[in-house]
Amino acid sequence: MSASSRFSAVEWIVKTDTVGVRVNTLGPGQSTPWHFHTAITDNAFGLDEGVEVHLREPDLLVRLPPGARQEILPRRVHKLVNRSDQPARYLLVQGIGTYDFVEVP
């Protein structure tokens, strides 16, 4: 699955060897696959209503209203979900070393 097919839209703000910052848009009811990153910490900031972060081990659901942030440490299985009937955006800030996107069932 390509990075762009995980979202309705992706707007890169910064992309260097050490950081990636982008706005991801999820369509109504859309979600990313369950996944983790081996060495990357995600910081997701809600921009629109409806964005949720689902985490495993331990299971946790975090709603990200506009302005809220959720840190997701390396190797933590997670997905982002849009529970609204409108497109929903979130800002994603990632430290980039060796980037990977490991999908899990």
Query: What is each CA distance from 78 to 8, 16, 36, 62, 97, in whole angstroms?
Result: 19, 24, 6, 11, 19
How far is residue 32's CA from residue 19's CA, in Å, rounded to a whole number? 21
Q: What's the pLDDT at 17?
A: 83
How far is residue 91's CA from residue 80's CA, in Å, rounded to a whole number? 12
- My answer on whether omega of the bond before 28 falls inside 30° of 0, hence cis, is no
- Give domain status of residue 94, yes or no: yes
Domain span holding position 54: 3-100
Residue 62, token pair as written in the block: 């975090």
If one counts the domains in the chain, the total is: 1
- Give domain status of residue 34, yes or no: yes
Q: What's the pLDDT at 1?
A: 37
Q: What's the pLDDT at 84?
A: 97
- Give domain status of residue 105, yes or no: no
What is the pLDDT tens value at each position of the chain, 105 positions in all? 344 578 999 999 999 888 999 999 999 999 999 999 999 999 999 999 999 999 999 999 999 999 999 999 999 999 999 999 999 999 999 987 778 999 999
CATH of the domain at 46: 2.60.120.10
The DSSP letter of residue 29 is T
